[in-house]
Amino acid sequence: MNPISRRLMFLGPLGLLAVGGGAGALLLHRMADGSFDPRGVPSVLIDKPAPKFSLAPQAGHPGFDGAALVTAGTPVLINFFASWCLPCIAEAPQLLALQKRGLQIWGVAYKDREESTARFLAQHGNPFSRIARDAEGNAALEFGVYGVPETYLIDKTGIVRWRWVGALSDNVIARALDPLLAKYA
Amino acid sequence: MIRLLVLWLTLTASAFAVSNPAELLPDPAQEYRARALGQRLRCLVCQNNSVEESEADFARDLRRVIRERVKAGEDDAQVITWMTARYGDFVRLSPAFSAQTVLLWASPFLALLAGGAAVVLARRRQMPPPVPLTDVEREAVRKLSGS
Amino acid sequence: MIPELGHFALALAVALALAQSLCALLGAARADARWMASGAALAYGHTIAVGSAFAALIWSAVTDDFSVQNVVENSHSLKPLLYKITGVWGNHEGSIVLWCLMLALCGAAVAGFGRSLPSILRARVIGILGLNAAGFLLFTLLTSNPLLRVWPTPLDGRDMNPLLQDPGLAFHPPLLYAGYVGFAVPFAFAVAALIEGCVDAAWGRWVRPWALASWSLLTGGIALGSWWAYYELGWGGYWFWDPVENASLLPWLTGTALLHSAIVVEKREALKTWTVLLAIATFSLSLSGTFLVRSGILNSVHSFASDPTRGIFILVLLLAVIGGSLILFAWRAPALGSTGLFAPVSREGALVLNNIFICSIAVVVFTGTLYPLFAELVFGAKLSVGAPFFNATVLPLAAPVLLAMVVGQILPWKRAALGPALLRLWWAALIAAAVGLSVALGLRALLPALGFAGAAWLIFGSFGEIIERIRLFRIPLATSCARLKGLPLAVWAATIAHAGMGITVAGIVGMSLAREKIVAISPGEAVTLAAYDWRLDGLRDGAGSNFRERIADISVWRDGALVVRLTPARRSFTTQRMETTETSIHTTGFADLYSVLGEERDGKAILRLHYNFLAPWIWIGALIMSLGGFLSVADRRLRVGAPARRPAQSVPAA
C-alpha cells in the first residue's frame, strides 16, 4: 500500500464520526421541528382505500360501515374515542369546532359500554354525525389503531389521506389537517 | 434446518406479560408457535416490549389475533403479513431482508471481511521477502548449530 | 443555603478542571515539573468540588428541600430514605453530576496511583481527563443543573418512578458509570501516547490496569442491570436488546477487545495503532451511548425527558472529544511504527482473532441499534431492529470466540502449532463431550446439548493454561504444587474470568430450558411445575410508606416437603398512580423459582410461575468475570520489573 492510501485509512474513523455527527445534528433538528418522532408509527393506510368493516350503531345515532365511507361523497374525519380515555376529553372542543366548520365527523366508540358512551357525549358534547360501536376493537385492528384517540381523514372517494395519533390540538389542525382539507375538499 | 433456526432464535430466554390463562391456546405446539410469533412483533404502545411481553391493551389484542390465526391454521408468514399490512414494517422486530435492510443483514459478514482484510494487508506490509543468507552468515549458522 | 453552596462548588469545579487541564498540559509541553505537579493537585481540588456539589444535592434530597427543582421532580416526603439518596442519580441531572464525580475521581486516581508513571505522561493523562471533565461540568451547569431553585415552593414532590424505587438503583448506575467513565483513563493514555508519538511495551503495561478496572466495573454494572430487569420488570427475561442495554454492551465489547490487544502491545509491541484506536473507540462509545439515550433520539425503556438543546450540547461535546482525538489519531498514528511480525497460529494470532470477532459483534450491535435512524434518514422508512435480529446475528459470531478462547489461552507466544495444543486439551474435550452427550440423551434436544458442551469446554478448558504451566502429571506432583504457588496472579485472573464466561454461557443455555405456567387459581388450590407443587395459600393487603399492595402467599413443595414461601405482590403507588409487579424469587443455586402475581378475577388470582433453570449462573458468572479482572489489576500493582522505557528509570506498573 502506498503511503497516501495508508494516510487515508487513518482518516477513516474521522470520516465515520463526521457522517455520524451530521446525521445526529439533522435528526435533532428534525426532532425539534416535529418532523421526526422516534416513537411515531406512520399509518400504512395512507393513500390506500379505507378498510372494510361493519359495526353496530350507537343507540339513538345513525351508524356506518366501511362502504358508507365511499358513498358519503364528502371528506370524512373518523375519530376513534372512548369514554375512559382522558385525551379524548381534551380534544372534544377541537372536534366540536371542526363540526361547526361543516366537516363530517364520524365516531367509533372503541371498547366502550353503550351507556358510558352516551354519558360521555352528554357531558362533553357530540361532534359526531354518525357513531358506530366497536366493542371488540375489530375495526380498530383493521385500521391499525394502537391507542385512542386516533383520527383519520378519508377523502370523498374513500381513500385514507391522514392519520393522527393522540389528541387533536389547534396547532395540529392548522398545520396538518387544514391544508389536506383544502386539497381534498 | 428451519426448526433449528427457530430454536436458535428463541435461545435467549423467553419473557411474558402477566396475562390471562384463558388467552392461551390449549394445544401446546400451537401455543409455542403463537408465543414465538408474538416475540417477533413489536408492541406499538410499549415500544420496547414485544407483543408477548407487553401489558398494554393493544398487545393483548394482538396476542388474541395471533392465537386466532394460528388456531385457524395460518402459517407464520401469513400472520406476519397480516400484521405488516396494518402496522407497517415497524411492527417486525426482525426486519425483512430487502434493499433497505441489506446493509443491516450483511453487517456481520462485512465486519468479518473487513477484519480479515485488515489482517491480510497488515501482514503483507510487514513481510518483506526473506533475503537469502550470505556465505558468511551460512558459515556462522553452521558453527552455531554445532554441525 | 446548601443548594447554593453546591451550585457554587459546581461552578468552581469547572474552573478547577480547566486549570487542571491547562497546568498539566502546558507543564508537560514545557517539561516544567512545578506546573505538572500543580495539575495533579488541582485534580484533587476538582474532585473535592464536584464531591461537594454532589453531597449538597444528596443533602437537599434527604432533607426534602422542595425548593430545589430536581428534588420536586424526583422525590416525595414519604419516599423511604434509601430511595431519597439513590433517587439523586435516578434522573438525568443527578446522574450527570455522578458522571462528573466519577470523571473527577479518575483524574484524582491517576494523580494518586500513577506516581510511578513518567511525569510527563502522567501530566498529559491528567490534563486530558481535566479537559473532558470541564466539558461535562459545563454541560451540567448550562443545560442540566440539578441545584436550581423553584418558586413558589410546592408542598411536596412528584415522587420517583416506582420501578426505580428498588435497592438495584443503589448499585447498578454507580457501577455502570464507573465503568463507562473509567474508560476515560485508557482514552487519555491513548491521546497522550499520540501526542508523544510513542507507544511501547511499557505503555501497554500502564494502560492495562486502568482498562481492566473499568472493564470489571462495567461487567459488574451490566450484570446488575440485567439482574435488576429480571426481578423488577417481572417478564422473566434478563436481556432485551434495548438501545440502552446495547449502549452499555458496546463499550464492554470494545473494552474486552482492548484488554486483549493491550496484552499484545505489552508482550510483543505489536497492534499498537489498533490498541490506541480501541482505547479511543471504547470511550467514544461510552459517550455516544449517553448522547443517544439522553437526547431521546433512540426509543428506549430508560426514557429521560428529551430536550433538543441538551441533545445539541452533548453532540457538540461529543464531536469535540471524539473528533479531537481522531484528528490526532489520523495525524500521529502513522508515525507509531509498524507492528511486529507474527505467525497466525500463536498466542498473539489468537488474540487478533479474538479482536476481529469481538469487534465484529460490536459492529453488528452498533449497526442494529442505529439502523432504524439510518433507514429513517436514507430511505424515509420506519423499521425496528430488535431481539430476534440480535439473537440471530450475535450468537453465531460469539460461538467461535467462546470455543477458540480456550485454545488461544494455551498457545505459546510467537509461533505455535494448533494440533499439539488441541491434543493437550483432550481432557476438557472429553468432559465437554460427556456433558453434551448426557444432555442430548436426557433431553433429546440438540441445541441445549451443544450449548452445555460448549459451556463445559469453556469452564474446564480455562484451567488448561494453569495445568500446562504446572505440568500436572508430567512432573512429580510436589513440584507441580510448588509451581502452582509461584504462578503469577494474572494467570489465575485470566482463568477465572474465562471460566466465569463459561458459567454465564451455561446460565444462558439453561435459561433456554426455562419453563413457565400461567394459571388462574383460588386460594387453597395448587399447580405443578417442574417437579414442584406451587400452592396459593391466600391473598392479603399490605402497605408501605408510599404504596399499597396486594400480596399472594404461595408455598412451594417438593415431594411433600416445604421448599419455600413466595410472596409476589402488585403495588400501586399513590403519587405516581402507577402499578408495579413485585416478583418473588427463590434461588436454589441451580434454578430460580420465580413467581409473579397478576390480576384477580372472580376470586381467582392469575399467577405466572417460572422455573428458570441455571438462571442465577448468568450473573454469578458475570461477577466471577469481574472478579477475575480485579485480580489481574492486583497482580500488576505488585509485580516488579516492568519493561523500563528509559534505561535510567525503573518503572513498576501502575
pLDDT in tens, A112-133: 999 999 999 999 999 999 999 9
Amino acid occupying residue B83: M
B107 versus A147: the higher-pLDDT residue is B107
Residue C338 banded pLDDT, cuts 50, 70, 90 = low
Residue C653 banded pLDDT, cuts 50, 70, 90 = very low
C351 touches chain B (CB under 8 A): no
Residues of A in contact with C291 (CB under 8 A): 24
Best of A5, A53, A146, A160 to disrupt the B interface by mutation (most B CBs within 10 Å)?
A: A146
**pLDDT tens readout for residues C188-208:** 999 999 999 889 888 998 999
- For residue C334, pLDDT over 90 is answered with no
Torsion on CA atoms C435, C439, C440, C444, rounded to nearest 10: 180
Residues of B in contact with C382 (CB under 8 A): 88-90
CB contact under 8 A, A10 and C281: no
**pLDDT tens readout for residues C546-568:** 889 999 999 999 998 999 999 99
Mean pLDDT of chain C: 89
Low-confidence winner among A58-72, C336-350, C449-463 (lowest mean pLDDT): C336-350
- Domain A56-184 top-level CATH class: alpha beta
Residues of C in contact with B51 (CB under 8 A): none
Can you tell me the distance from the alpha carbon of C382 to that of B90, in angstroms, rounded to the nearest whole number?
A: 6
Within 10 Å of residue C328's Cβ, how many Cβ atoms?
18
C22 touches chain B (CB under 8 A): no
Can you tell me the distance from the alpha carbon of A94 to that of A137, in angstroms, rounded to the nearest whole number?
A: 24
The whole-angstrom distance between residue A150's C-alpha and the CA centroid of its chain comes to: 5
- For residue B47, pLDDT over 70 is answered with yes
Average pLDDT over residues C265-287: 92
C216, C315 contact by CB (below 8 A): no
- For residue B10, pLDDT over 50 is answered with no
- For residue C638, pLDDT over 50 is answered with no
What residues pair up with C549 in beta bridges, in sequence order? C542, C571
The beta strand positions in C6-106, using DSSP E, are none
- For residue A46, pLDDT over 70 is answered with yes
Residues of A in contact with B88 (CB under 8 A): 41-44, 144
CA angle B97, B102, B103 (to 5 degrees): 140
Residues of A in contact with B87 (CB under 8 A): 41, 44, 144, 146
* pLDDT confidence of residue A98: 94
Nearest-CA neighbor of C625 among C219, C221, C318? C219
Selecting from C281, C296, C312 the residue whose C-beta is nearest the C-beta of A38 gives C296
Closest-CA distance of chain B to residue C6, Å: 37
Instruction: Tell me what ipTM this predicted complex has.
Output: 0.88
Residue C178 banded pLDDT, cuts 50, 70, 90 = very high
- For residue B16, pLDDT over 70 is answered with no
* pLDDT confidence of residue C43: 96
For strands A104-110 and A160-165, give the pairing.
Answer: unpaired
> C535 vs C482, C542, C591, CA distance in Å?
55, 20, 19
- For residue C306, pLDDT over 80 is answered with no
Please report the sign of the dihedral spanned by the C-alpha atoms of residue C631, residue C632, residue C637, residue C638. Answer: positive
Low-confidence winner among C369-373, C555-559, C645-649 (lowest mean pLDDT): C645-649
Can you tell me the distance from the alpha carbon of C611 to that of C563, in angstroms, rounded to the nearest whole number?
A: 14
Domain ranges of chain A: 1-35, 56-184
Ramachandran region, residue C167 (left: φ > 0; alpha: ψ -120 to 50; beta: rest)? alpha
Domain ranges of chain B: 2-91, 102-144
Closest-CA distance of chain B to residue C51, Å: 35
B137 versus C113: the higher-pLDDT residue is C113
Percent of residues, chain C, with pLDDT higher than 90: 61
Low-confidence winner among C285-289, C398-402, C637-641 (lowest mean pLDDT): C637-641
- For residue C102, pLDDT over 90 is answered with yes
Residue C577 banded pLDDT, cuts 50, 70, 90 = confident
A22 touches chain C (CB under 8 A): no
Low-confidence winner among A28-37, B38-47, C86-95, C535-544 (lowest mean pLDDT): A28-37
Cell of B97: 431482508
Cell of C203: 505503555
Task: State residue C411 phi and psi, 5-degree precision.
Answer: -70, 140
CA angle C580, C586, C587 (to 5 degrees): 125
Q: Which residue of A has its CA nearest to C280?
A: A13
**pLDDT tens readout for residues C484-493:** 888 888 899 9
Residues of B in contact with A143 (CB under 8 A): 86
Residue A71 banded pLDDT, cuts 50, 70, 90 = confident
Task: State residue C521 phi and psi, 5-degree precision.
Answer: -135, 155
Mean pLDDT of chain A: 90
SS3 for chain A, per residue?
A: CCHHHHHHHHHHHHHHHHHHHHHHHHHHHHHHCCCCCCCCCCCCCCCCECCCCECEECCCCCCCEHHHHHHCCCCEEEEEECCCCHHHHHHHHHHHHHHHCCCEEEEEEECCCHHHHHHHHHHHCCCCCEEEEECCCHHHHHHCCCCCCEEEEECCCCEEEEEEECCCCHHHHHHHHHHHHHHHC
Query: What is the second-level CATH architecture of the domain B2-91?
Result: Orthogonal Bundle (1.10)
- For residue C209, pLDDT over 50 is answered with yes
Average pLDDT over residues A12-31: 91
The residues, any chain, with a CB within 8 Å of residue B131's CB and separated by 6 or more, are none
Closest-CA distance of chain A to residue C311, Å: 7
Q: In what order do the strands lie in the sheet with A160-165?
A: A56-57, A130-134, A104-110, A76-81, A150-154, A160-165
* pLDDT confidence of residue C341: 65
A86 touches chain B (CB under 8 A): no
Within 10 Å of residue C650's Cβ, how many Cβ atoms?
13
Residue C468 banded pLDDT, cuts 50, 70, 90 = confident
Cell of A9: 485509512
What residues pair up with B41 in beta bridges, in sequence order? B92
- For residue C159, pLDDT over 90 is answered with no
* pLDDT confidence of residue C401: 92
Q: Does an H or E element contain C451, and which?
A: helix C446-461
- For residue B4, pLDDT over 80 is answered with no
What residues pair up with A107 in beta bridges, in sequence order? A79, A131
- For residue C612, pLDDT over 70 is answered with yes
- For residue C302, pLDDT over 60 is answered with no
Helix and strand counts by DSSP (H, E) for chain C: 21, 10
Q: Which residue of C has its CA nearest to A23?
A: C377
Average pLDDT over residues C466-474: 85
- For residue A86, pLDDT over 90 is answered with no
The residues, any chain, with a CB within 8 Å of residue C206's CB and separated by 6 or more, are C117, C121, C189, C653, C654
Domain ranges of chain C: 185-363+376-386, 515-613
Q: Which residue of A has its CA nearest to C297?
A: A38
- For residue A106, pLDDT over 80 is answered with yes
C456, C427 contact by CB (below 8 A): no
Task: State residue B76 phi and psi, 5-degree precision.
Answer: -55, -45
- For residue C641, pLDDT over 70 is answered with no
Average pLDDT over residues B61-90: 93
* pLDDT confidence of residue C654: 37
Selecting from C291, C326, C333 the residue whose C-beta is nearest the C-beta of A17 gives C326
C512 touches chain B (CB under 8 A): yes
